[in-house]
Each structure stands twice: as C-alpha cells, then as structure tokens.
Amino acid sequence: MPPVPHPLDDRLPALLRSGQRLHGIFNGIASPAIVEMCAYAGFDFLVIDNEHGSAGIETTEHLLRAARACQLPTLVRCLEQDIPRTLDIGAGGLQIPMVSTAAQAQSLVERVKYPLPAGAPGIAGRRGSAFSTRAAGYGAFGGPAHTRRSNEGIALVVMVETPEGVENAAAIAAVPGVDGVFVGPNDLAHAMGCENRWQEAPVQRAIEHTLRAVAAAGKCPGVLALGAEEEARYAGWGARYFATVSTAIITRALREAAQQGRASLSY
C-alpha cells in the first residue's frame, strides 16, 4: 500500500527559488472543482483568494485538500488576522496583501515561522504550536519534524500595492524569510490616484522599479499579467511569477460562447 501523502505541500519555496517562469492563477470561487480544473489545465500553482473571495475557513480547508489530491502547489492570499488558522489547515504558502515596509514584512515572517531551539539552524519565529491540526496530520506528523517541515517548506509572498511599498521594495525583498514579492497593479494604481488604469506610465514605472528591486535582492518578483504582451514586458523587468484570474477567464469564455450562440441564430 503506498504511503499516505503528507497534508502539507512544501514545494513552493523551491519553486519560487527555481529561476524559472511560473504561471499561477488567483481563484476566489469557493469550489474544489475549480481547484481541480486549474490543476488539469496545467498551472504551476494556485492562489486561493481569501482577501476578495467568498470561502470561509472550512471551505478553504476543502480547497487545500483538492489541491493536494491533484498535486497543485497552493498559496492562500489572506488577511493578517487569518494567518494562524490558514496555516493550521495546511496552507503550503501565504500571500499577504498591502505590505509597505520591511518591518511589516519581518513581522509576517515571525508569524509564519515556529520558534526554534537555541542554536538551531533556520529562521525562528513566534507562530503558536499545535500538532492536532490538518497541517500536522492531526497529530500523525507532529513534533519537531513538523516544526522543521513548516519552517522550511511554507512560502511567504508579500504584496506591494502602495507608493510606500514601491519605495521600500528593495528592503522588503531583503527580509530573510520572504520568498517573493508580488506587485498588485490594480490597488497600486488606485493608491497612485489612477483608479484602475495600471497601464498609465507612472504606474508602469512603479511596477518596473519594484520588479527590478526584488530581482536584484534575489527574491522572486511577481505581478498580474493578463496577456502575452504584459508578460513579456514584465519578464524584461525581472518578473518570474505571473498570475491571471479564474473569474476573468471564465467570464470571458462565457461571453464568447453567448455571443457565438447569438451569431449562429442570425440569418
């Protein structure tokens, strides 16, 4: 009988360090079926969007189960107050919005990492320990081995979405324990007074500055890229993590199907 897979998928830090282009997808639809579809479609990883999506903590746990079953590495974008429970249900990585300073990034690292014994290698934090959770196999994988696997295998991506974050991008990326920095272009454009027009020159310059600063710090730069032209431009600025959005893809496909249906009825 093959061994039961560990509930905690610890592949994301290595993926983010790999140097290869990565294609992820934000999904705020609270459906395990969508998670499976994203895996079958061939995305490198999934981002469960609990900043803007509708999933509660129980549903998020089921989404993570679906992702683990189909071997899809998964980040969860969540608010800071949701970090402890999101980790305990088995998230293999977190993506935290609205990070504007290195001090804030350092605090997030500490909340993701467990404390370590004196002199032990690795980055120590202040995450509360509980081995009865799904992340620890409900006790089957608890103890020091779970602490080590979690500290080494849970990825932390922080999001730069303000002019202050852009200014501090290099310092944020330099924080040990930050694996990637993702530019949120929509929020950044709004914060810069451009509403949702992130293609405007000042916003693009801010995105370029951030991506180049993160790449120079040796961390994985990420950004929303909704087409090949955007991806090529951002890749030239150092980006390696490119994301799209499930609802945009689904809505576009449905609109095309609806228009095609109307066209077939015209005579």
What value does the CA radius of gyration of the chain take, rounded to a whole number of Å? Answer: 19
Contact call for residues 109 and 178 (beta carbons, < 8 A):
yes
52 is catalytic: yes
Contact call for residues 185 and 163 (beta carbons, < 8 A):
no
Q: Which residue has the tokens 């454009």?
A: 189
Token pair of 111, please?
Answer: 């909340």
Token pair of 54, please?
Answer: 């509708």
Q: Which residue has the tokens 């549903």?
A: 59
Q: How far apart are CA 11 and CA 73, in angstroms?
A: 7
Beta bridge partners of 93: 155
User: First vs last Cα of the chain: how many Å apart?
Assistant: 61
Q: Which of 6, 52, 62, 209 is catalytic?
A: 52
Q: How many CA atoms lie within 13 A of 178 on its CB side?
A: 31
- Residue 71: left if φ>0, alpha if ψ -120 to 50, beta else—which one? left
- For the annotated catalytic residues, the residue numbers are 52
